[in-house]
Amino acid sequence: MVTTAGSVVQVRGLRVIRGPTTALDGVDVTVAEGLITGLLGPSGSGKTTLIRSILGVQVTAAGSVTVLGHPAGSAPLRREVGYVTQAPSVYPDLTVAENLQYFARVLGVADVRADTDRVLEVVDLGPQRRQLTATLSGGEASRVNLAAALLGRPRLVVLDEPTVGLDPVLRDSLWHTFAQIAASGTAVLVSSHVMDEAVRCDRLVLLRAGRVLAQGTPADLLTRTGTDSAEQAFLALVREGRTP
């Protein structure tokens, strides 16, 4: 059941063609404020295409994508949406704090120093603030990316497979940070192809071959399928050929 109360993103009837592939077909998704929505599906299921559509950088063939009441990608959303890519988006030859101050200025954040300090605290990188970004560990570097996306207090933060390549301890700590960000009222959309990360989310959208296989809370999906893991639920839904 898709509700529009508190919804930050509304995707309706979205269809996207990429090359010879129908990457998304008839997709309806809602992302709510204050919750972590997990976008899960195997490789090629359309996760990145859906994220690109929400960011407003994807040509769409049909349907609509609305973010905070505006068409995706429109000017009023520039400061409202934070995006964390898989690739590092910060400068290796600047310190952590210099990177964040630079991006805060580009964004037009009013109090650059205060906002930099705030995001450093959220991602727990205070001790590394004067370290050159090139010398950070993999986990620290992903935290700088996340910090940059939090500048200006966006109301939606989108993370494309943020835990790829991280060890279990770092993954755990990043998920704690996502929960903290959501608890502050921000809508958090996280894509992953790792089904065991599903339990970390408040809501799940399961994608398969460009279609939404199911969406709801992790508990809903387990109950509905009579399974005890997201992976089994996903496989059960595939077997049953259910549509939402």
Ligand X SMILES: Nc1ncnc2c1ncn2[C@@H]1O[C@H](COP(=O)(O)OP(=O)(O)OP(=O)(O)O)[C@@H](O)[C@H]1O
Alpha-carbon span 129 to 174, nearest angstrom: 18
C-beta of 237: minimal distance to ligand X in Å? 16
Q: Which two tokens stand for residue 114?
A: 């205060």
Centre a 10 Å sphere on the Cβ of residue 18 and count the other Cβ atoms it contains. Answer: 16
With respect to ligand X, which residue has the nearer C-beta, 40 or 119?
40
With respect to ligand X, which residue has the nearer C-beta, 4 or 43?
43
With respect to ligand X, which residue has the nearer C-beta, 140 or 160?
160
Q: Which two tokens stand for residue 151?
A: 């500048």
C-beta of 194: minimal distance to ligand X in Å? 10
- Yes or no: say if 9 and 189 are a contact pair by the CB < 8 Å rule: yes
C-beta of 160: minimal distance to ligand X in Å? 8
Q: Which two tokens stand for residue 199?
A: 């339990």
Alpha-carbon span 148 to 140, nearest angstrom: 13
With respect to ligand X, which residue has the nearer C-beta, 50 or 151?
50
Alpha-carbon span 112 to 212, nearest angstrom: 40
C-beta of 191: minimal distance to ligand X in Å? 7
Measured over the CA atoms of residue 60, residue 64, residue 66 and residue 70, the dihedral's sign is positive
Alpha-carbon span 185 to 183, nearest angstrom: 5
With respect to ligand X, which residue has the nearer C-beta, 18 or 70?
18
In the complex, which residue's CB is closest to ligand X?
19
C-beta of 42: minimal distance to ligand X in Å? 7
The DSSP output letter for 134 is G
With respect to ligand X, which residue has the nearer C-beta, 109 or 195?
195
Phi/psi at 62 (5° precision): -165, 160
Helix/strand/coil for 89 = coil
Q: Which residues bind ligand X (CB under 6 A)?
A: 18-19, 21, 23, 41, 43-49, 193
Measured over the CA atoms of residue 227, residue 233, residue 239 and residue 240, the dihedral's sign is positive
C-beta of 64: minimal distance to ligand X in Å? 19
C-beta of 47: minimal distance to ligand X in Å? 4
With respect to ligand X, which residue has the nearer C-beta, 3 or 43?
43
- Yes or no: say if 224 and 216 are a contact pair by the CB < 8 Å rule: yes
